[in-house]
Structure 1
């Protein structure tokens, strides 16, 4: 068996080589055709933003593929780099093992890994007291991690967009109501009302919200229960149309928000150098005993909750401004948005934080499945409660960010 494993391509049947190459080529061409068809479908339906998002995903997959090729070509050159053993034994992600493993299970794992080494039988030669910087086996495992990143990036991006569009689709019935007679009667522009009696102001203001602590506590919890109410949608719609269109214009605001979500999605699916840097920092800090896997999974959750709270705070501040500006309003209250409501006066910063949170969460989920595949879960997840908490947190962040926070941002960011 050892002799079979070490055979080169010159000792491999031509039918085996040709069949394997044919299968790989067919799969690659099929994937390319599918992506091309999707791009054509988006272009035909004038989904420019989604088409650009698809091009970004394809570019990122190309980067990951290029990294993979570099690893394949340079794996033995990297393995030939030798470092002292005492240096190689520092900052390990799992407890240090002896070379023989632990009992029969250790031997089985070593044999299992040997069968999965990419190719060749060349072994690095290091002098006594030195080992390879990264072994060929370790480079192969990194290679598998990159493959997992590519696959899960596509899946995660699709889920994110699907949940966001599902949320905005629920606003269609509110948009349809704007063409009914009941809407014209309920929101008659000639009607005068006290500002504090309007649905939007009443939903966002109270005595307690005037107190800073309770103000943010209320905004924090509102994102879970009523992230976007009917009065929110109608008021923001009225504010947008009053500024950008002539009075009485028939405008499908829900469709406009859907296109805005697609524009935001184009940004969210991108991976900036800063985000790639966070990926490297995580790999550096994933040291045994530091519980980096668990703490890193909390970062996206904290970011998403903070951004959602801030977006709700913006709606509440708009409601306060209406009551402070006018005691009586005509028709629907007119909201006046401003960049001053956003952190550092930069609305785009919230979108960048959403992008960072989604990538980090996607990477954490990818890393979990990679550990499961490589059978690393026994040392990376020594405590079952950490493993369960990580899975739950990852699912919560995906749902919150895609179904609640991102659509809410697409709506609030349109306020003039």
Structure 2
């Protein structure tokens, strides 16, 4: 919707934008292609100059700018148009490419994320079996270092910080979430936010959380738009800025994956430091202090930024290919182009299949549970309750009294609160598993 609105604004104001003139010295600076001078005719490599910003073909007399539509922009001597009509047309095409790849990238992200969580569904089903209840009987005592979760994450390299993070870095590629990790995190979440021993479908909850995170990472913000503009402005011939900009999403995604693996390992180490003997499954301690700046949402913002920049890089490559050809001056160093596209595809797969599902799981280890804990029907009930209280308040009734009064439908507005309290009892939490 935002891309369509931008395209509409460009269509409405294109005649005014094309009349903006700038000094010729400015239009010949910071070009993405080298300028070749040939007997008084200045041309960008392959006959093309900056077709997005100045974007005019200069042939013959430098005072004339020949547009794609055949019209001529009249600018004073020594000045040229900021952007031509042909440049605006190409910008429309670029916006279309962005929209198409945005949809394709989003579909791929959700498909790979759900494929990753398919195995977690088997582990969740196993928690209802007799074998699971017997092997994790709360009355059964075990040494902490003998449990699978603690044994997996406590080794000699944990004492050396560099080795600890190096191992955490490698774990995101090899068995990023094993069965012991999933069951330990599930057990800690249920004990912290629900009644111990609840038959809560943790996998469905993580799936709803992943969908909420997906809504965040496919959005747009002024900060992301500003970063895209900076990438285009700094795309200067010889700087290889696009290659280094494509490396940034890879570094961010790898750093987030390493941090999430380190959080799981830290929780296992804390269990070993606190206890020698444990009952049933080791109990992890949920806290925001495990995350950067004590804010789990900061990692989601970084994922959002990395995916946006990665999508922008891949879209830019296909747009240049479509508009100017695969072997145009924009692709002088073709080895860098191949490396940039390969990194983009790798980042998309890595984030969709590993990092984003891992974040959806580990982010539950924060101090506060997410609103995804409630199913869709409960969320609607809470919204209706909130609207009923708001109407009461607008009529002059105090908020405190409106909570205890009867709603217009004959039910108490506070009934959703009692409904929320069911989730903390063993008997009623079974309803969540069927939601």
**If the length of structure 2 is used for normalisation, what is the TM-score?**
0.76
Distance (whole Å) between structure 1 residues aligned to residue 279 and residue 186 of structure 2: 16
Moved more, 246-255 or 357-366: 246-255
Deviations 1:168-223 (A, max 9, x none): 12211111111112111221211111111111111111011111010100000000
Whether 1:286 aligns to 2:238 is no
Deviations 1:43-84 (A, max 9, x none): xxxxxxxxxxxxxxxxxxx22112112222222322211122
Distance (whole Å) between structure 2 residues aligned to residue 102 and residue 170 of structure 1: 54
Gaps of 5+ in 1: 1-61
Whether 1:187 aligns to 2:136 is yes
Query: Could you say what secondary structure the match of 2:14 adopts?
Result: helix
1:140 to 86, 89, 97: 89
Whether 1:94 aligns to 2:33 is yes
Residue in structure 1 matched with residue 118 of structure 2 by the alignment: 169
Moved more, 197-206 or 182-191: 182-191
Task: Kindly report which structure 2 residues correspond to 1:359-398, keeping only aligned pairs within 5 A, or say none.
Answer: 359-375=308-324, 377=326, 378-398=328-348
2:156 to 207, 213, 224: 207
Q: How much has 1:246 moved relative to structure 2?
A: 2.0
Equivalent residues of 1:118, 1:140 under 8 A apart: no
Deviations 1:74-127 (A, max 9, x none): 223222111221111010111124557599x749xx9xx99xx99854321112
Equivalent residues of 2:69, 2:85 under 8 A apart: no
Moved more, 175-184 or 69-78: 69-78
Residue in structure 2 matched with residue 311 of structure 1 by the alignment: 260
Whether 1:221 aligns to 2:170 is yes
Query: Could you say what secondary structure the match of 1:224 adopts?
Result: coil
Distance (whole Å) between structure 1 residues aligned to residue 176 and residue 282 of structure 2: 19
Distance (whole Å) between structure 2 residues aligned to residue 363 and residue 85 of structure 1: 30
Whether 1:255 aligns to 2:194 is no
Task: Kindly report which structure 2 residues correspond to 1:263-278, keeping only aligned pairs within 5 A, or say none.
Answer: 263-278=212-227
Moved more, 298-307 or 131-140: 131-140
Against the structure 1 CA distance between its residues 160 and 167, is the aligned structure 2 distance closer, same or farther, given a 3 Å change threshold?
Answer: same
Against the structure 1 CA distance between its residues 384 and 119, is the aligned structure 2 distance closer, same or farther, given a 3 Å change threshold?
Answer: closer
Whether 1:410 aligns to 2:360 is yes
Equivalent residues of 1:76, 1:124 under 8 A apart: no
Against the structure 1 CA distance between its residues 308 and 207, is the aligned structure 2 distance closer, same or farther, given a 3 Å change threshold?
Answer: same
Which of the pair is proportionally richer in helix?
A: 1
Residue in structure 1 matched with residue 179 of structure 2 by the alignment: 230
**If the length of structure 1 is used for normalisation, what is the TM-score?**
0.80
Equivalent residues of 1:300, 1:361 under 8 A apart: yes
Against the structure 1 CA distance between its residues 179 and 121, is the aligned structure 2 distance closer, same or farther, given a 3 Å change threshold?
Answer: same
Q: How much has 1:379 moved relative to structure 2?
A: 2.0
Query: Could you say what secondary structure the match of 1:216 adopts?
Result: helix
Query: Could you say what secondary structure the match of 2:93 adopts?
Result: helix
Equivalent residues of 2:331, 2:337 under 8 A apart: yes
Gaps of 5+ in 2: 52-56, 59-65, 368-435
Distance (whole Å) between structure 2 residues aligned to residue 360 and residue 270 of structure 1: 13
Whether 1:243 aligns to 2:229 is no
Residue in structure 1 matched with residue 413 of structure 2 by the alignment: none
Equivalent residues of 2:185, 2:284 under 8 A apart: yes
Q: How much has 1:128 moved relative to structure 2?
A: 2.0
Equivalent residues of 2:189, 2:286 under 8 A apart: no
Task: Kindly report which structure 2 residues correspond to 1:70-85, keeping only aligned pairs within 5 A, or say none.
Answer: 70-85=9-24
Q: How much has 1:398 moved relative to structure 2?
A: 0.5
Deviations 1:257-310 (A, max 9, x none): 101111111111111111111111111111111101100100100000000000
Against the structure 1 CA distance between its residues 311 and 165, is the aligned structure 2 distance closer, same or farther, given a 3 Å change threshold?
Answer: same
Deviations 1:303-353 (A, max 9, x none): 000000000010011011000110111110000021111011111000000
Task: Kindly report which structure 2 residues correspond to 1:2-151, keeping only aligned pairs within 5 A, or say none.
Answer: 62-97=1-36, 99=41, 106=47, 121-151=70-100
Distance (whole Å) between structure 2 residues aligned to residue 101 and residue 406 of structure 1: 46
